[in-house]
Chain A
């Protein structure tokens, strides 16, 4: 199979206006992936499926990833004017000097939800090609285009990603919960999901369960609900 760089070039030549970014995998597997822009995702997917050089006719896997807000601490060298008292020829003089100071800055990189598609070609016996798409944030703008119109096998897996991560796939023919019940409100695979507090009976608690059970018992004692 061609490298992701070559595939990126081919996509950008074939689909006008498409923006594709190569995401490198630093691990030994070196399974690099392509980040697709939302606007052209369906066109790119159709191209990858139909182009005789690629023929990715088998979508093996769709998965979701939840990336939390990341706080990044970095050291930056800043040049700023500093007022100093300097010994001059006629006594002390106030002087403004440009000085380079090292400063620690914190910035928050906003989190996002991501879906990952693994493609193979049965016809040409190559793969996998890894595609990614990212939402704008993880709270209100969680839409991304569905690839179900291109690969039918994405239907249930996108439903599962919707169910567990809350990514809304626009253009999906039947976007309902698939594993949890319809009345369920949360998305359990999100990293800020709060599990129901059902630690009322833990005969052999240890580690995290012991902590949760103790918290539960303390809350019950505070409310006076434990008989």
Chain B
């Protein structure tokens, strides 16, 4: 679509050029051999593309789209209905939906062309934490002969698919080092394990047995757990390390996308518990979303995370720590999401600690990605994996000297991280 909102108008397909070229050859041959037969053949071929263009809509048609995303955990199911304007047969529309690279195809697309609408469904899999934007499907009108086509205007919002480990929904128990003046004064919208009884919900992975409401479960025939309305406030800064490393751009991008999804999950969980959440993204310079709370802040954080890209140049670690003081007060609990790949990345941890930020480091491990991309034989691969593991352990140990660090190598779970932030004692560094 052009900048002024107009579409490209009629487009000729390759078949048109084949017919016109063959028709032209037929005319030339007819004149050359002085035989009228190819003329009659060429006439039909020359007229066909114009006839196709005239038998379709004379301007770019419009269609309405109703679509949504369902599914949970690793399953992403997108379903919708495209309804073209009157006079445009739905059978002449082609619907294409672009799959974000972070999502995998798990089932072939289903497309049902009805009387006046097209129903489509895509099933994708999110095998790791992801935050992907799915643009609205592209809809094209194409004449039955495939000679011409037009873009169909489909005004619709894009869908953001966010998947993160389910344990992050239990972050309400996180102890925050810097809290607001009167914690507990404001009732939280977040439900949790303690407080005033709020209601019942189906059991989810990680729910302790003591929260199961056995009487209600017996009545419903399915396990139900009690939910309680929490009362708490506090400040948290999420800091994403978006600097390029020696791992290479593809692994760096991949790790950053996993870290973004985790940051989104943490922010969402904490904002629902009425904590104030800020976001910092450090590439060459620090870009920050200042501390705030509520639904608007959730949108701000999500927008900032969606716009986060890997920096071209890596800024020094000290610059990040200095810049942090301009946006966030010292003493604020800071969750650093960094792959810790390289000395400069690890140096960020002591710099932040020295400037007064109590840190928890969540480090997505590059090891599973390197293993998946490896082309080595089984024996060499085992040695390489061992070396990667040793280097990784050394880096985690270095980071632990300044802040508790979680080596996140199983992207399907954040149980270790949630346990760590739930217990302040285990976060203290000697």
Partners in one complex: no
Binding site for A on B (CB under 8 A): none
Binding site for B on A (CB under 8 A): none
